[in-house]
């Protein structure tokens, strides 16, 4: 009735940028570069999963992961926890905390052993940094000759805490995805929509509203309070065994100060016995304005002008932080033992003009538009 599996990664990352940190997702407070010249926190994690078959049609699943959290701790958190009812061989429903089918590798996003790289390309996967939602989904599979097609629809909510304070809440979050498998080819399409609120930014734009009509206009444009978010993605993988070719594209729009971003990557690799060298190119473009005049401080009394200038600085800091970058990655995977691999990866990232890319913890003296070199080593395992 019970099955248990485990997975994990022991990794270390070095960054050439000493005035900012590189992290593997936006919910980590620090990483490689400024905080640590060599950081084990970027990729290291350990997780376990239990599946209980309660009846021939009903099962329960729990997955927990220990990795660096928003507060710097490694306290384990529940990633997935749900009940699944299998109506037929092709139709099922799940209720609880479930994985969001946002990307081609969403199911295995945290299990690095199943992926060819040290980590999925951050250019694309940073567009939807959350993995799961609390709610339910319905899955239905269609079969036609050698072609298998699986439709998944989800509905739920998700809450996440941000480093340094603040929370992100998505409500009425729904997704529809289609995965097509035909021989060596796998294709994936997804559309996602919800309403997003980011508490600390909502507080910031509440301060803008105290300046009357011009403050209200700015808040109406930028305040991420109950704002519609949309994501559309498409990807495909061709893997006949001795080599692979993978590509994904996605675009997200937040209808707020977070703007709109589009990203894609292409990756190829060749398997030589236990070695798999690979090459990846990724690009992320923020298509929103990077500055705004903000409040007209010159028309305000001196006592208010300073406060307005400070708010304008905060607004333009957020607009300027929208990620824009290009990355070339080269690496190799060595399958050392059964269920154990060793990966080595070098990334060269060119930051867009005026953008810090996906880097965090920017320090005085940091220069946008520069180049960042990353060196990563990781051991992945499953059990």
**Rounded Cα–Cα distance for residues 328 and 280 (Å):** 6
pLDDT of amino acid 265: 98
pLDDT digits (tens, 9 = 90+) for 34-55: 999 999 999 999 999 999 999 9
pLDDT of amino acid 362: 95
CA distances from 50 to 5, 53, 238, 347 (A): 7, 10, 31, 35
Q: pLDDT class for 164, splitting at 50, 70, 90?
A: confident
pTM, to two decimals: 0.93
Task: Please give the domain boundaries of the chain with CATH numbers for all domains.
Answer: 16-35+92-382 (2.40.160)
Q: pLDDT class for 26, splitting at 50, 70, 90?
A: confident
pLDDT of amino acid 315: 96
Please, what is the angle between helix 213-222 and helix 199-208, to 10°? 160
Nearest to 71 by CA among 28, 132, 121, 16: 28
**pLDDT of 159 above 80:** yes
pLDDT digits (tens, 9 = 90+) for 336-374: 999 999 999 999 999 998 899 999 999 999 999 999 999
pLDDT digits (tens, 9 = 90+) for 250-272: 999 999 999 999 999 999 999 99
* Whole-number percent of the chain with pLDDT over 70: 100
**pLDDT of 288 above 80:** no
Helices (H), the chain: 122-125, 199-208, 213-222, 302-320
pLDDT digits (tens, 9 = 90+) for 191-203: 999 999 999 999 9
Q: Which residues pair with 371 in a beta bridge?
A: 350
Average pLDDT, the chain: 95
DSSP-derived 3-state class of residue 315: helix
- pLDDT average, residue stretch 100-127: 95
Q: pLDDT class for 63, splitting at 50, 70, 90?
A: very high
Q: Take residue 54 and report the two structure tokens written for it.
A: 């309660």
């Amino acid at each position: 009735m019970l099955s248990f599996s485990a997975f994990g990664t022991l990794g270390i990352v070095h960054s050439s940028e000493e005035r900012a940190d590189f992290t593997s997702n936006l919910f980590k407070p620090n990483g490689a570069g400024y905080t640590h010249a060599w950081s084990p926190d970027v990729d290291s994690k350990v997780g376990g999963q239990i599946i209980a078959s309660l009846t021939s049609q009903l099962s329960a699943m729990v997955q927990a992961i220990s990795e660096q959290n928003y507060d710097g701790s490694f306290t384990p958190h529940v990633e997935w926890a749900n009940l699944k009812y299998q109506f037929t061989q092709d139709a099922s429903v799940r209720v609880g905390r479930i994985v969001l089918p946002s990307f081609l590798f969403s199911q295995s996003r945290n299990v690095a052993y199943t992926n060819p790289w040290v980590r999925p390309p951050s250019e694309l996967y940073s567009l939807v940094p959350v993995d799961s939602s609390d709610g339910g989904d319905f899955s239905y599979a269609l079969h036609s000759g050698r072609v298998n097609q699986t439709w998944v629809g989800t509905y739920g909510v998700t809450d996440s805490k941000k480093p340094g304070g603040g929370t992100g809440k998505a409500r009425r979050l729904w997704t529809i995805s289609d995965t097509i498998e035909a021989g060596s080819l796998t294709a994936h399409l997804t559309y996602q929509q919800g309403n997003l609120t980011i508490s600390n930014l909502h507080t910031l734009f509440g301060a803008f509203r105290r300046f009357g009509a011009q403050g209200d206009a700015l808040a109406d444009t930028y305040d991420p309070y109950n704002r519609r978010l949309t994501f559309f993605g498409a990807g495909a993988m061709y893997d006949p065994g001795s080599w692979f070719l993978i590509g994904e594209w996605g675009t997200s729009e937040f209808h707020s100060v977070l703007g709109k971003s589009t990203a894609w990557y292409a990756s190829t690799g060749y398997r030589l016995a236990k070695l798999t060298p690979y090459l990846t190119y990724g690009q992320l473009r923020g298509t929103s304005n990077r500055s705004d005049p903000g409040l007209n401080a010159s028309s305000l009394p001196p006592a208010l002008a300073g406060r307005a200038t400070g708010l304008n600085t905060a607004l333009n800091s957020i607009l300027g932080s929208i990620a824009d970058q290009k990355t070339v990655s080269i690496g190799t995977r060595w399958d050392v033992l059964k269920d154990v691999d060793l990966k080595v990866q070098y990334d060269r990232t060119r930051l867009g003009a005026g953008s810090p890319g996906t880097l965090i913890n920017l320090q005085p003296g940091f220069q946008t538009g520069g180049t960042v070199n990353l060196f990563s080593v990781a051991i992945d395992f499953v059990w």
